[in-house]
Amino acid sequence: MLDSILPVLIFSALALAVIGAWRRVRLWRQGRSSPVPILKGLAAMPRRYLVDLHHVVGRDKVMSNTHVATAGGFVLAAVLMILVHGLGLAQGVLGWVLLAASACMFVGSLFVARRRRNPPARLSKGPWMRLPKSLMAFSLSVFLITLPTVGILPEDFGSWILAVALAAVLVWGLGEMFFGMTWGGPMKHAFAGALHLAFHRRAERFGGGRSTGLKALNLDDPKSSLGVETPSDFTWNQLLGFDACVQCGRCEAMCPAFAAGQPLNPKKLIQDMVVGMAGGSDANYAGSPYPDRPVGEHHGNPHGPIVAREGKALVDAETLWSCTTCRACVEECPMMIEHVDAIVDMRRFLTLEHGNTPNKGAEVLDNLIATDNPGGFDPGSRMHWAADLNLPLMRDVKQADVLLWLGDGVFDMRNQRTLRALVKVLRGAGIDFAVLGNEERDSGDVARRLGDEATFQSLAKRNIATLSQYRFQRIVTCDPHSFHVLKNEYGELDGHYEVFHHSTYIAELYEAGRLHFKPWKGGTVTYHDPCYLGRYNGEYEAPRNVLRALGIEVAEMARSGYRSRCCGGGGGAPITDIPGKQRIPDMRMNDVKETGADLVAVGCPQCTAMLEGVVDATAEIRDIAELVADALVTESDPHTQPTAEARIAIKEVAS
Amino acid sequence: MAFEALFQPIEIGKLTIRNRVVSTAHAEVYATDGGMTTERYVKYYEEKAKGGCGLCICGGSSVVSIDSPQAWWSSVNLATDRIIPHFQNLADAVHKHGGKIMIQITHMGRRSRWDGYNWSTLLSPSGIREPVHRSTCKTIEEEEIWRIIGDFAQAARRAKEGGLDGVELSAVHQHLIDQFWSPRVNKRTDEWGGSFENRMRFGMEVLKAVRAEVGDDFVVGMRICGDEFHPDGLTHEDMKQIAAYYDATGMVDFFGVIGSGCDTHNTLANVIPNMSYPPEPFLHLAAGIKEVVSVPVIHAQNIKDPNQAQRILEGGYVDLVGMTRAHIADPHFIAKIKMDQVDQIKQCVGANYCIDRQYQGLDVLCIQNAATSREYMGLPHIIEKSEGPKRKVVVVGGGPGGMEAARVAAERGHEVTLFEAEGSLGGQITLASKAPQRDQIAGITRWYQLELARLNVDLRLGTRADEATIADLRPDIVVLATGGQPFLSQFPEWGYSENPEESLVVSTWDILSGAIEPGKNVLIYDTICEFSGVSAADYLADKGAKVEIVTDDIKPGAAVGGTTFPTYYRSLYEKEVIMTSDLALHKVYREGDSLVAVLENEYTGALEERVVDQVVVENGVRPDEALYYALKEQSRNRGQIDVDALYAIQPQPCLAEEGEGFLLFRLGDCTAPRNTHAAIYDALRLCKDF
């Protein structure tokens, strides 16, 4: 009896799935166009799934194996089921393989079930709680209906009641796995995820590559608004990407703003985008809400505003402005969703079309427009900090091996110490370097992260024009934000440079034997990875190599390297300053405290400022350049001081 | 950026100064050996440059000619080429830290002493005596004028060849140039006196000769006063005319402006305003000069705080602020601003210990910073953490010696407990701050309070330590700085009793602390003649008492320095305090409700009496030795300080010796009554090696 209804059930489910898929594709196609190579993408998809995605998933070995068993078992079982039970190709080994696949899937689903027994807070509940049962229903029923096929059981074993029961279970399984996949059930992630991998907007990320620069906005397109106002303003493959979310909450667990109690949860944000794309309210969302923001009060539709000018729409503006753009969510996402791109897209609209950059945001942008620096300082005072250093200016020397990019830290007394230390190091190594001096402008990082693409492009173009007048081998900077922007975001505007973070450059100089250090006499040291150096640019080793060269054994924080916790200073977050329950830098200094370190080495002016702002910190904050400068063994250089002087206060000013 | 105006570089002539803060010229009294700069001198300025000071102008009153005596104040001698290599050391030391250095050059004319060294005949435009130095002089002749003009040019050349960045011509403080300017002193009728142009001539010829010698790429500035404050002297309007006149030559690269002339004791006190003055009291005079000149103007006088400096610069009153005493108190002034450690700046309190020593021909020292000018000896401004064992240090007494000992020991990384019997820190500084116009001295304590809190010193205020409490802490080192008590029991005839009901005399401490109500008709007998007596007199008069202050010394307040006794006198005379000298307190007895003080003339033995209702005696401090002797026998070192090691700034040998129990040291007035600097110096040199 089953034999006769199985094909009906299977093909009905498949038909419904195709209809669902078509409807889903229509939802995605509401988005703006975005040319991607369709066939090439599809061809690359299996590898992207098996290698790149599983590289992320594999950080959790149990979950990774569970997924391999369950998903692998399912894909194989589903295909074979169609062949064996749908088309009746029951000959030979196929049945046995199907039996094995479903058994494998069943074992996997037991692990899925186990994970759901005491699920961590980051996992969404709701329909996701039934998924392990559905997986078991599918795999078990397929297993059972295949037993007669391979002859383990007689063709007509059991009674019709048993057959009906089995069919019912199978319908449940098929419903979840095929119908649910395209009609918005938990299995949607497999369908959308696979296509998302195929049509990903940052194909460079696959195969071990890195793509972290924001994509330029066409400011001259008269047909479209600037940035994303409604869900349909995203590109279609961004919408597709949102749909790929498995709500595993790894992003949520890593998000510094969420941990600080600011109204942001990257997972919820992505789910809100899904709600907006399909239309409706967030009432059915079954994960952690935005801190302090109840679920069920927001709603949206594909063509309605995401952020209401007044009252509530899909997402509150505070949610978008809470993001530090640290990329911890993106780094963590097994589906390789691009949260930060989406947030900046939406910020662009708020800033460029509404002029609604909160708190100090508008002032900072005004400053950047008027003075080319975020603090609104006299642009002619950029070199005041170095009045006694006689730094060679590019305008005078025209060419140098190294162009030292100073960044806006020139206006900050704390960063001036880092810069002076770096100058001392470069001089100690006998480097031919020069600076742009008053010709340098803000790199545009903050403007861009605050959504002011116009100001970013204006700054970037003028910086590129300035740089084009001079000859240099490479740019070195102690500011990872400038580093990232110069290296990864000026390219789209035709500025192509070899850019080094100072830690990388110092590591190179040390390797080349151009720097010599006195042995380290201080206490325990930990290292804080700046987001824009680490996650954005993959530089985790050079700073550690430098510290090792200084004789320092780094006491690593639990969250370091690609999982480093943001200092809270990126993305203009200190400027938009959205209140939470605690401050991100406080949490970071607690991470430091746990290592017992009495010094935390950093490599970013922003991190330095944020971490030094922590009250009652247990560790001193020093830039790597400062540590190197302190340890430097130099010949009598007129710009350095005798080594007998050891303490900080004097050094900073005098070196 | 905070302090933006402070950190704006500025061009003086062709020289770029990295910020707006200047250590202006003052006599250091460190140059010895015929006026050659010493290692001490170089290190003193190097420390300022290291600490971030933009420009140092060294060598206040450094002489260009052999007949302007330099030895009295050990100033620098630019009258010989021998100085050039010394300047090279000095210039290198400052330049290597990004600082700039110039020197003030002058001929002091009549403003010196003739009775020593070369027994020089002093020179002045009209041979009029100078009262502050009691110096007589001859009327300068034309030949001498031209010789000295040439000496100026040669001195400037030596500064330039020595690698210094510039010279400042002193036309202030009644030196020879402004002696020619001032009609008060210049009565000449030849071409060097009389009309404005004639009075300007000497300075103009000096300027021309100097500029001709050094060329355009060497800074030449002038220091002038903004108003002589003498009815017959130069007024502010005169000074504006003078400044504009020289500025018009284009040969002056900057003007330094000081309020007040200084050829009397009273005007001298204005020049280095002590704590009785408001902040920047003469800024308006410098601002007036800035209105009429085209080059940067420097002004120094009571600018001590970074916020104050920023405010002055932001207001555009002047272009650079002189913060000279501020740098004597803390040569790392700028560094601490840049380190965001403004609260750690040791701020000058205007005690004028520095300048008052200088006027006596003694080396300039800071009342609260014993490391200043002792850098060459290895005394540190910033205390390094010890690499040796962490020790438990108990300090008893929260006066200056105890506070410094606790600070230094804590900076060394030791665990420090400080006992103070009173409810607050400060010891005698707290008493001193109670007098009118003396409240700022408490700034010394305020800094220590902040530092001791920052260094987590365990403060036990209101707790009198005894043997048992100290033993409970099981200390490795005990430092006693318990001070002492007013010494009223020396002469039984004074009728002092520990019972206040019975005692016929009270101490200045009783008065200043408020423990004893001021009387209505008070006699103060002050045999010490330092601050406490005149402070008590001022305090009592301020409370409405009729006060007579009597001393057996040559005048009340005789031991108060030259820039400070005038401000006391202004206050005391204004309040009709009677000041009587040459009488010793012979006896006090009670008669009815009144007290009779019997005074004996020092020179005739004659007795006279005063009938008053309160007798206050200042007879100095008797060390409080009880705790010391209670602990001495138990201590490993029997309380002894190895003076050879102490004076050589070396570690006490006993620190390196193993042993059970504690080391015992005592400091400050509990050893012998000296002063704040002595207590702090001993504490620093003793504790820096803990």
pLDDT above 80 (res A645): no
Residue B337 touches partner A, C-beta closer than 8 Å: yes
Q: Mark yes or no for CB contact B51/A650 under 8 Å.
A: yes
Q: What domains can be seen in chain B, in order of their start residue?
A: 60-319 (3.20.20.70), 392-485+623-687 (3.40.50.720), 488-619 (3.50.50.60)
- β-strand pairing of B21-23 with B15-17: unpaired
The per-residue DSSP string of B44-61 comes to HHHHHHHTT-SEEEEEEE
The total number of residues written for chain B in this structure = 690
Find, among B158, B241, B167, B240, the residue nearest to B207 by Cα.
B167
pLDDT above 80 (res A247): yes
Type of residue found at B13? G
Per the CB < 8 A criterion, the answer to whether A298 and A314 are in contact is: yes
Q: What pLDDT is stored for residue B33 in this prediction?
A: 73
Tokens of A459: 């700054």
Find the closest chain A residue to B387 by CA distance. A521
pLDDT above 90 (res A161): no
Looking at the DSSP bridge assignments, the partners of residue B138 are B123
* Rounded CA separation B533/B580 (Å): 13
Residue B343 touches partner A, C-beta closer than 8 Å: no
Residue from the list B8, B52, B95 with its beta carbon closest to the beta carbon of A653: B52
Phi-psi group of A305: left, alpha or beta (phi > 0 → left; psi -120 to 50 → alpha; rest → beta): beta
Average pLDDT over residues A512-526: 94
Find the closest chain B residue to A416 by CA distance. B338
In a 13 Å sphere around the CA of A564, the CA atoms on its Cβ side amount to: 26
CA-CA-CA-CA torsion for B242, B247, B252, B258, nearest 10 degrees?
40
Which residues from B are below 8 Å from A639, CB to CB?
A: 96, 98
pLDDT above 50 (res B146): yes
Q: What pLDDT is stored for residue A543 in this prediction?
A: 98
* Rounded CA separation B371/B327 (Å): 12
pLDDT grade for B132, boundaries at 50, 70 and 90: confident
Which residues from B are below 8 Å from A389, CB to CB?
A: 98
- Please give the DSSP secondary-structure letter assigned to residue A70: I
State residue B484 phi and psi, 5-degree precision: -160, -160
Residue from the list B18, B99, B382 with its beta carbon closest to the beta carbon of A650: B382
Q: Which residue has the tokens 């906005």?
A: A217
Q: Mark yes or no for CB contact B18/A388 under 8 Å.
A: yes
* Rounded CA separation A473/A462 (Å): 20
Q: Which residues are CB-contacts of A535 (< 8 A; sequence separation ≥ 6)?
A: A212, A326, A327, A328, A330, A331, A529, A562, A564
Find the closest chain A residue to B100 by CA distance. A388
* Rounded CA separation A144/B462 (Å): 87
Q: Tell me the three state secondary structure of residue B17.
A: strand
Q: Mark yes or no for CB contact B9/A387 under 8 Å.
A: yes
Tokens of B295: 């080059």
Between chain A and chain B, the number of residue pairs with CB atoms below 8 A apart is 77
Q: Which residue has the tokens 């200056």?
A: B400
Rounded to a whole number of angstroms, the distance from the CA of A117 to the nearest CA of chain B is 50
Q: What is the pLDDT of residues A346-376, one digit of tens each?
A: 999 999 999 999 999 999 999 999 999 999 9
Average pLDDT over residues A488-497: 97
Q: Mark yes or no for CB contact A649/B51 under 8 Å.
A: yes
Q: What pLDDT is stored for residue A155 in this prediction?
A: 74
Kindly state the helix (H) or strand (E) to which residue B71 belongs, with its residue range. none
* Rounded CA separation B281/B275 (Å): 11
pLDDT above 50 (res A655): no
Residue B374 touches partner A, C-beta closer than 8 Å: no
Type of residue found at B530? E
Q: Mark yes or no for CB contact A414/B340 under 8 Å.
A: yes
Average pLDDT over residues A588-617: 96
Q: What is the pLDDT of residues B172-193, one digit of tens each?
A: 988 999 999 999 999 999 999 9
Residue from the list A377, A412, A654 with its beta carbon closest to the beta carbon of B97: A654
Rounded to a whole number of angstroms, the distance from the CA of A361 to the nearest CA of chain B is 18
Q: Mark yes or no for CB contact B341/A649 under 8 Å.
A: yes
Q: What is the pLDDT of residues A274-332, one digit of tens each?
A: 999 999 999 999 999 999 999 999 999 999 999 998 899 999 999 999 999 999 999 99
Find, among B117, B111, B116, the residue nearest to B134 by Cα.
B111
The total number of residues written for chain A in this structure = 655
Looking at the DSSP bridge assignments, the partners of residue B104 are B168
Residues A119-150 as b/e (b if ≥16 CB within 10 A, e otherwise) read: eeebbbeebbebbbbbbbbbbbbbbbbbebbb
State residue A513 phi and psi, 5-degree precision: 75, 20
Chain A residues bordering chain B (beta-carbon distance below 8 Å): 375, 377, 381, 384-385, 387-389, 411-414, 416-417, 638-641, 645-650, 652-654
- Choose from A650, A651, A652, A655 for mutation: most chain B CBs within 10 A: A650
pLDDT above 70 (res A652): no
Q: Mark yes or no for CB contact B7/A384 under 8 Å.
A: yes
Q: Which residue has the tokens 């991190």?
A: A607
CA-CA-CA-CA torsion for B410, B411, B414, B416, nearest 10 degrees?
0
Tokens of B480: 């006693």
Rounded to a whole number of angstroms, the distance from the CA of B169 to the nearest CA of chain A is 25
Type of residue found at B62? S
* Rounded CA separation A577/A566 (Å): 15
Which residues from B are below 8 Å from A638, CB to CB?
A: 95-96
Find the closest chain A residue to B332 by CA distance. A650
Q: What pLDDT is stored for residue A646 in this prediction?
A: 35
Per the CB < 8 A criterion, the answer to whether B164 and B90 are in contact is: yes
Taking the whole predicted model, whether its pTM rises above 0.95 is answered as: no
* Rounded CA separation A322/A314 (Å): 16
Find the closest chain A residue to B10 by CA distance. A387
Q: What is the pLDDT of residues B277-288, one digit of tens each?
A: 999 999 999 999
pLDDT above 70 (res B681): yes
* Rounded CA separation B561/B571 (Å): 16
Burial class (CB in 10 A: 0-12, 13-18, 19+), A642: exposed
Per the CB < 8 A criterion, the answer to whether B322 and B308 are in contact is: no
Find, among B305, B345, B245, B328, the residue nearest to B28 by Cα.
B328
Find, among A258, A225, A272, the residue nearest to A587 by Cα.
A258
Rounded to a whole number of angstroms, the distance from the CA of A306 to the nearest CA of chain B is 38
Q: Mark yes or no for CB contact B335/A645 under 8 Å.
A: no
Q: What is the pLDDT of residues B391-414, one digit of tens each?
A: 999 999 999 999 999 999 999 999
* Rounded CA separation A567/A529 (Å): 9
Q: Mark yes or no for CB contact B338/A412 under 8 Å.
A: no
* Rounded CA separation A490/A458 (Å): 11
In a 13 Å sphere around the CA of B284, the CA atoms on its Cβ side amount to: 5
Give start and end residues of each alpha helix (H) in B169-305: 176-181, 196-214, 236-247, 265-271, 283-292
- Choose from A378, A388, A419 for mutation: most chain B CBs within 10 A: A388
Tokens of B665: 């040291």
Q: What pLDDT is stored for residue B1 in this prediction?
A: 64
pLDDT above 60 (res A192): yes
Q: Mark yes or no for CB contact A648/B339 under 8 Å.
A: yes
For chain B positions 93-132, those within 8 Å of chain A (CB to CB) are: 95-99
Which residues from A are below 8 Å from B337, CB to CB?
A: 413
Residue from the list B9, B50, B340 with its beta carbon closest to the beta carbon of A413: B340
Q: What is the pLDDT of residues B19-44, one digit of tens each?
A: 999 999 999 999 877 899 999 999 99
- β-strand pairing of B607-612 with B594-601: antiparallel
Lowest average pLDDT, out of A1-15, A228-242, A257-271, A573-587, goes to A1-15
Q: What pLDDT is stored for residue A635 in this prediction?
A: 61
Q: Mark yes or no for CB contact A646/B384 under 8 Å.
A: yes
Q: Which residue has the tokens 């949607």?
A: A188
Per the CB < 8 A criterion, the answer to whether B376 and B43 are in contact is: yes
Residue B315 touches partner A, C-beta closer than 8 Å: no
Which residues from B are below 8 Å from A654, CB to CB?
A: 49-52, 97-98, 335
Residue from the list B50, B335, B339 with its beta carbon closest to the beta carbon of A641: B50
Rounded to a whole number of angstroms, the distance from the CA of B440 to the nearest CA of chain A is 27
Which residues from A are below 8 Å from B49, CB to CB?
A: 654
Which residues from A are below 8 Å from B332, CB to CB?
A: 649-650
- Choose from A408, A653, A655 for mutation: most chain B CBs within 10 A: A653
Which residues from A are below 8 Å from B2, CB to CB?
A: 413
Rounded to a whole number of angstroms, the distance from the CA of A354 to the nearest CA of chain B is 30
Find the closest chain A residue to B92 by CA distance. A638
Find, among A526, A536, A379, A561, the residue nearest to A463 by Cα.
A379
Q: What pLDDT is stored for residue B31 in this prediction?
A: 82
Q: Mark yes or no for CB contact A384/B97 under 8 Å.
A: no
Q: Which residues are CB-contacts of B239 (< 8 A; sequence separation ≥ 6)?
A: B224, B225, B226, B227, B285, B288, B289
* Rounded CA separation A632/A610 (Å): 27
Residue B456 touches partner A, C-beta closer than 8 Å: no
Q: Mark yes or no for CB contact A650/B50 under 8 Å.
A: yes
Kindly state the helix (H) or strand (E) to which residue B297 belongs, with its residue range. strand B297-300
Give start and end residues of each alpha helix (H) in B96-235: 142-161, 176-181, 196-214
Per the CB < 8 A criterion, the answer to whether A597 and A524 are in contact is: yes
Tokens of A405: 């990019």
Type of residue found at A577? D
Phi-psi group of B437: left, alpha or beta (phi > 0 → left; psi -120 to 50 → alpha; rest → beta): left
Residue B9 touches partner A, C-beta closer than 8 Å: yes
